[in-house]
Structure 1
């Protein structure tokens, strides 16, 4: 749930924490949705290692997310690190799905 209050309008630490908690829940809900797409894309990828990893796409995503972060005033290196971890985990999940579908 989106915070209904702006950071500068918070009157105490609990209001700030509650708003952050709401934002974190939104992030998790978005990650769940992203995860569903990550699982679904296996149907369209070649089953070899290069097809699963999709190096060109990986580099494009990292570059693009860094640019988005910079444009929004976030630390692009932090965003790259977060997305690199997310992508590596997604690759692992896709390998597992592919391997279980081809037994």
Structure 2
């Protein structure tokens, strides 16, 4: 972490990190969509056991990095919910095309 001497420098660092986060989320989204090729219908989009596995793993990582696990939990729950919803919508469309 850089030692910033002004609020502008702090904001620049946050912006740089946000750029990286968005790039990584886009990559994650690509893999989420790839996972759909292995699913047959919208009912397979939500796998609660996998969701909990992900949440437990990232909560543990957050503790390792000295971050509030509650923040990570909330962010990941929202992300998982949105990606599951996207998969359900896309898989439902594909079902209608069969």
- For normalisation by structure 1, the TM-score amounts to 0.86
Residue deviations 1:27-67 (CA, integer Å, cap 9, x gap): 01111111111111111124252x21111101100011100
User: Would the aligned equivalents of 2:42 and 2:92 in 1 still touch at CA under 8 Å?
Assistant: no
Q: Decide which of 59, 77, 87 is 2:70's aligned counterpart.
A: 77
User: Would the aligned equivalents of 1:69 and 1:75 in 2 still touch at CA under 8 Å?
Assistant: yes
1:7 & 1:38 partners in 2: Cα distance?
33
1:57 & 1:23 partners in 2: Cα distance?
27
Q: Which runs of 5+ in 1 are unaligned?
A: 1-5
Q: Decide which of 34, 48, 52 is 2:28's aligned counterpart.
A: 34
User: Would the aligned equivalents of 2:55 and 2:76 in 1 still touch at CA under 8 Å?
Assistant: yes
Aligned length: 96
- Which consecutive segments of 4 or more residues in structure 1 shift more than 2 A? none
Q: Which runs of 5+ in 2 are unaligned?
A: none
2:40 & 2:64 partners in 1: Cα distance?
34
2:5 & 2:45 partners in 1: Cα distance?
49
Q: Which has the higher contact order (CA 8 A, sep 6+)?
A: 2
- For normalisation by structure 2, the TM-score amounts to 0.90
User: Would the aligned equivalents of 1:52 and 1:94 in 2 still touch at CA under 8 Å?
Assistant: yes
